[in-house]
Structure 1
Amino acid sequence: MILIVDSGSTKCDWIAIDKDGNQLLEKIRTKGLNPAILSEKKLRKTINKSKELIANKEIVTNIYFYGAGCGTENPRIALKIVLQQFFPNANIEVNEDTMAAVYATINTPNEAAVVCILGTGSNCSYYDGNKLEQRVDSLGYTLMDDASGNYYGKQLIRDYYFNHMPENIKIAFEDKYNLEADYIKHNLYKQPNPNAYLASFAEFMILNKDSEYITELIKKGIRVFSNNMILQFKEEIKTVPVHFAGSIAFFCKDEINQVAQELGFKTGNFERRPIEGLVAFHTKQKS
């Protein structure tokens, strides 16, 4: 059994296939396994909550894991140790989530592209058809992650508290969420995955895109992300497309295209969930 795994900070999808790419089990979903945020203890606890993974852990031969927080060495090693302990008979590869986005969005195996992730977090890389290049090390949701779910969640909460929201949006926001200061602070400073908590507010933004306030909020975030991340690759975007993966990118496609036109780059493919592309990629690699 081969496991293909695509993990963000919020959720983690596991697909079990055989060597020919045939799916063996229903897709398994756990909470996100971000080793840059979660301790090894919490990573183990999350995996051990899955009855399906427990039932099949002895027969797994290969794991290809792509995840948020796996772009630097220490978190990547920590997660690999946890996986190896749980799946004792498996060969395990742990890669950053950007590679999942690359394999899911490029049209041909050797296509060059700038590839962006806009989900719970955000990232941007250049893929030359062979290897990945990043020009800025991610410092995580506190300092970076522009235009991500947690970025927009933070902006919505700030605008609510600073009284920058239109009244009708403010009332709708109050109806949907517990916005008591103590409750928010408890989730941000006392609970695990504060980035995922912030990202949970982004659903409100997607559901209220008919509001001019929301549309401008989305485009403002995309402009910040583009200037900080995409325009690192000024020369490359003259000749290659900019692909996007992740739920925020998928649901904000129109706003991204508008900002792309403003700033002079060409968008390519938009993929909400990269995991289907990963299955196809690894099946081809084995054939």
Structure 2
Amino acid sequence: MIIIADGGSTKTNWCLVTEEGKKVYFNTEGYNPYFSSTAYIVQSLMENLPTDLEKSEITEVNYYGAGCSTDEMRNIVAEAMKAVFTKARVYIGHDLLAAARALLGTTEGFAAILGTGTNTCIYNGREVTHNIDSGAYILGDEGSGCYIGKKLLVDYLRGYMPEAVRKLFWETFKLTPDDVNEQVYTQPRANRFCASFSKFVYDNPVNIEYSRNIVRTSFEDFFRNLVTHYPNYQKYTFNCIGSVGYNFRNVLEEVVTENGMVIGNIIRSPIDNLVKYHLELAPSQL
């Protein structure tokens, strides 16, 4: 039996493929090695994997994760996987590679992630060949859920929110400015905290134009800093994975078109296409 997994900073989507070809899907939290240690990942998996999963019968694990871009970071996750799936061969890849393979299969092109975080690349049909560093959630991640959430929180802290939005924000979250600062600067996983407010932006019924402007400026920043610097970027279609790109697709399509690109695939999660890639297009990673 093999496992294929796509791990973001918030959630990991897993697919178990049995020897008979049956696919079993399940979720756990996300495991970004910049924020989660090997010990933490092991404990979380032991507590949250399906109770009927026979871990000793897994022969292969293909795990793609946020933050798994260097040997050091990949090793943090690999050691956890080896501790949990003791008889499996383990492959750890970056979630950007998962996005490219899910969106493009074996075709070259441009691929992006717009979820809790952001990333972009040029892909040659097998590997990522060009990547502009997103800067992560403190320095960059333009267009991400975290980036959108930060814009909302800054407006709240500075008193820039329209009054009706500010009232709804308070009724929804009961957060004072001090509460926000404490969560961001003293509590772990500030990226998840900030990203959680992108849902408020999406759901906000009292001032749609305000929410739309936050999203549009976020996507404009994303394009200006993380897309237009790729050589000849306009020759590619725009392909994107992630809940933010998917949920705000109408705004994203406007910005994509304004920047001279044609819309390709925009999907919420890569897991189905990633399973297809491993089973049909490139069945052997290890």
What is the TM-score normalised by the length of structure 2? 0.92
Shift of 1:178: 3.1
Q: 2:198: which partner in 1?
A: 202
Q: What SS is found at the alignment partner of 2:32?
A: coil
Shift of 1:105: 1.5
Shift of 1:20: 6.0
What is the TM-score normalised by the length of structure 1? 0.92
Q: What SS is found at the alignment partner of 1:146?
A: coil
* 1:180 maps to 2:196: no
Gaps of 5+ in 1: none
Kindly indicate whether the alpha-carbon contact (under 8 Å) linking 1:21 and 1:283 is maintained by their aligned counterparts in 2: no
Kindly indicate whether the alpha-carbon contact (under 8 Å) linking 2:242 and 2:268 is maintained by their aligned counterparts in 1: yes
Kindly indicate whether the alpha-carbon contact (under 8 Å) linking 1:242 and 1:268 is maintained by their aligned counterparts in 2: yes
Structure 1 residues 175-228: Cα deviation after superposition (integer angstroms, max 9, x where no partner): 211322343233223333211111111101111376111111111010111011
**Greater RCO, 1 or 2 (C-alpha within 8 Å, sep 6+):** 1
Kindly indicate whether the alpha-carbon contact (under 8 Å) linking 2:7 and 2:31 is maintained by their aligned counterparts in 1: yes
Q: Identity over the aligned pairs, expressed in percent? A: 30
Q: 2:4: which partner in 1?
A: 4
* 1:213 maps to 2:210: yes
| Cα distance in 2 for residues equivalent to 1:67 and 1:168 | 39
CA 1:54–1:239 in structure 2 vs 1: closer, same or farther (change >3 Å)? Answer: same
Structure 1 residues 65-117: Cα deviation after superposition (integer angstroms, max 9, x where no partner): 111111122111111111111111001111111111112212xx332211010
| Cα distance in 1 for residues equivalent to 2:129 and 2:166 | 41
Matched positions, count: 282
Q: What SS is found at the alignment partner of 1:52?
A: coil
Shift of 1:256: 1.0
Q: What SS is found at the alignment partner of 1:70?
A: coil
* 1:110 maps to 2:106: yes
Shift of 1:239: 2.0
Task: Identify which of 39, 42, 54 aligns with 1:56.
Answer: 54
Which stretch shifts more, 178-187 or 91-100? 178-187
Off by >3 Å, runs of 4+ in structure 1: none
Q: 2:129: which partner in 1?
A: 133
Matched AA of 2:160: H
| Cα distance in 2 for residues equivalent to 1:30 and 1:110 | 28
Which stretch shifts more, 129-138 or 38-47? 129-138
Q: What SS is found at the alignment partner of 2:13?
A: strand
CA RMSD of aligned residues (A): 1.9
Kindly indicate whether the alpha-carbon contact (under 8 Å) linking 1:3 and 1:62 is maintained by their aligned counterparts in 2: yes
